[in-house]
Structure 1
Amino acid sequence: MSIGDLELTQTPRRRDAQERHDRLIAAARREFAARGVDASLERIARDADVAIGTLYRHFPTRMDLLMSAFEPRLREFLDGSTKALEIDDPWEGFVYYLENLFRVQAGDRGFNDFLSRRFPGSADTERIHDQMCEQIEDVLTRAQEAGEARPDITLADIVNLIWSNGRMIDATSTTAPNAWRRYLYLMLDAYRAKRAHPIPEPPMTDRQLYDAMVHLSTAD
């Protein structure tokens, strides 16, 4: 067999492998968006018309598949976060950050799960969550230093808002898919410094917040 013959026989196999990979990504995006990060891998493989073993050859772990499936949404979210920090008015930057965050969250149940949880076994997701937390603190601190956001808001308060919004999205996605915007703006009024009143309960610590996000990943 000549080198030319070998190339002709190998190229279709490479193309077929890429097609299977693409079908798996497309099926994963549909399933994770509809059913969350715990969606059945067997169903994803079936929807992609491949064997489960083929899925694992392409994506050895669930997190490998999640990261590949979420890549466009992650890029969209992180690009929006960067834009928020570039807005001159600190309060408007804070508002833009949260609206972008919740808009992306509302469009995908799996990405909603991803934002709400921690996956300590995955270095990639830990890095992304650390980056997200740093961005939240940056946009919040800017608004606080400008005297626009109340000074006692913490990262944990924003993550709690993400959790609350996620539950509301689940409840309203088919009946009032934009309801989340109303309640975001109600909360933004509560976050304004000029509306601040003493709060009887202290914020969660960073350790409590992290443990709670991990708990969401391990709870049945």
Structure 2
Amino acid sequence: MAADLPHHLRADARDNRDRMISAARAAFSERGLDVGMREVARRAEVGPATLYRRFPTKQALIDEVFAAERRSCEQIVEEGCADPDPWRGFTSVLQRLTALNIHNRGFVDAFMSAAPAAAPFTAHRKKLLGMLERLAHRAQAQGRLRSDFVIDDLVLVLLAGRGLSTSLPNARDHAARRFATLAVDAFRAQDP
């Protein structure tokens, strides 16, 4: 019986951790990063001390909650940059990031945060924006991306697309596709 006790506690701790991450993911997705740690603990049905024991800071919780989204975001950018057609790669990145971002309002907030505690996101953002800037230069050299495009234009579109996460759930995907189509058209180089 005593030998079973530590295993039981580890499983219990794992269940608590999973509930805390799930609760935080849902809360951040719905309301952004303004959700407090006490709200996350309440949703996870654990005490605040349990939450703080596992995640001593809100940023530690944010980093854990959005690890999968960061990997997905990076994969989207890498695949777009690897496309031999830079315009197609650029438009694919825009469409796919818009689709990713509509389902999680908090991820865009975390990704764009300039707070010192958000260092993992800051480094991630800098790396991906550098890759996208090189892709944009290739698309401009191809004559498909407007010549006055700057990377901040893409950031602006992604930030604006964040508002789509407040749409009705059954309308989000359609709205994201339409928004991305309009953005692609806005970025397209005009025929002389």
Length-normalised TM-score, structure 1: 0.79
- Give the alignment of 1:5-20 within 5 angstroms: 7-20=3-16
Q: CA deviation at 1:101?
A: 0.8
Aligned residue number for residue 167 of structure 2 = 172
For residues 38-57 of structure 1, the C-alpha deviation after alignment (integer angstroms, 9 at most, x for no partner) is 11221211121111011011
Residue number among 126, 129, 137 corresponding to 2:133 in the alignment: 137
The list of structure 1 runs, each at least 4 consecutive aligned residues, that deviate by more than 4 angstroms after superposition, is none
Counterpart of 1:43, as a letter, is E
Query: Is the CA contact (8 Å cut-off) linking 1:189 and 1:195 kept in structure 2?
Result: no
Q: Compared with structure 1, are the counterparts of its residues 185 and 195 closer, same or farther at alpha carbon in structure 2 (3 Å cutoff)? A: farther
Counterpart of 1:61, as a letter, is T
1:101 equivalent in alignment to 2:97? yes
Structure 1 runs not aligned, ≥5 long? 197-220
CA distance in 2, matches of 1:107, 1:56: 26
CA distance in 2, matches of 1:115, 1:195: 35
- Give the alignment of 1:26-105 within 5 angstroms: 26-105=22-101
Q: CA deviation at 1:91?
A: 0.5
Aligned residue number for residue 21 of structure 1 = 17
RMSD: 2.0
CA distance in 1, matches of 2:48, 2:129: 35
Query: Is the CA contact (8 Å cut-off) linking 2:27 and 2:35 kept in structure 1?
Result: yes
Structure 2 runs not aligned, ≥5 long? none
Query: Is the CA contact (8 Å cut-off) linking 1:35 and 1:109 kept in structure 2?
Result: yes
1:189 equivalent in alignment to 2:191? no
Q: Compared with structure 1, are the counterparts of its residues 170 and 16 closer, same or farther at alpha carbon in structure 2 (3 Å cutoff)? A: closer
Query: Is the CA contact (8 Å cut-off) linking 2:80 and 2:89 kept in structure 1?
Result: yes
Counterpart of 1:172, as a letter, is S
Q: CA deviation at 1:36?
A: 0.8
Q: Which has the higher helix share?
A: 2
Percent identical residues? 30
Counterpart of 2:171, as a letter, is A
Length-normalised TM-score, structure 2: 0.90
Q: Compared with structure 1, are the counterparts of its residues 123 and 183 closer, same or farther at alpha carbon in structure 2 (3 Å cutoff)? A: closer
